[in-house]
Structure 1
Amino acid sequence: MAESETEKLPQFNSHQEVVEFFDTHDMGEYKSELPEAFFDIDLKRNQYLVSVDGYLMGKLLEVAKEQQVSVEVLLDSWLKEKLLKAS
């Protein structure tokens, strides 16, 4: 559909009505009716890679699976606990 042929949005009385409406309608058909959104994103979080022995990684994977978390979450939690005890 060309932009000049976009649909007009109905009036909504709540955020829930908006959500329900777009559950069954394509937002692209209303693009000329939608306001632009501006927001900032802070991408300053650093992540670091570390080497882990294959046997140790296997054990970590087992524990993570038992606890139903990712290895990254498990290690992050364990390292924070260990650092708190060391401080």
Structure 2
Amino acid sequence: MVINSYEEIAEFWDTHSLADYWDQTEPAAFEISPELRRRYLVAVEPDLLSRLRQAAHARGVSTESLINLLLEQRLREIESA
């Protein structure tokens, strides 16, 4: 299976459980570099933030993850237009 986007990953895990694949996993050693991920302070309207939090909760992901997913999807749309 080839995964082309975070959206495809999200769709897969929305309908599957890691418990079904646990025996196929392997330990992985890795380091996370702080330089690879940056935080930006962005003003968000209170109502929009509330909706984002609700949508993230409904999908079982963090608000930050949902925002990144939505930004990536929209940017791809803009770039392909």
Q: TM-score, normalised by structure 2?
A: 0.53
Alignment length (residue pairs): 48
Which stretches of structure 1, 4 residues or more, deviate above 6 A after TM superposition? none
CA distance 1:41–1:79, shift in 2 (3 Å)? closer
Specify which structure has the higher proportion of helix. 2
- The reply to whether residue 63 of structure 1 matches residue 55 of structure 2 is yes
Name the Cα RMSD after superposition.
Answer: 1.7
Unaligned regions of 5+ residues in structure 2, if any?
1-30
Unaligned regions of 5+ residues in structure 1, if any?
1-39
Structure 2 equivalent of residue 43 of structure 1: 34
Distance in 2, matches of 1:64 and 1:41, equals 24
* Structure 1 position 44, deviation (Å): 1.3
- Structure number with larger C-alpha Rg: 1
Per-residue CA distance 1:55-79 (angstroms, 9 max, x = gap): 1111111101100101100000000
Q: TM-score, normalised by structure 1?
A: 0.50
- Counterpart pick for 1:84 among 30, 54, 76: 76
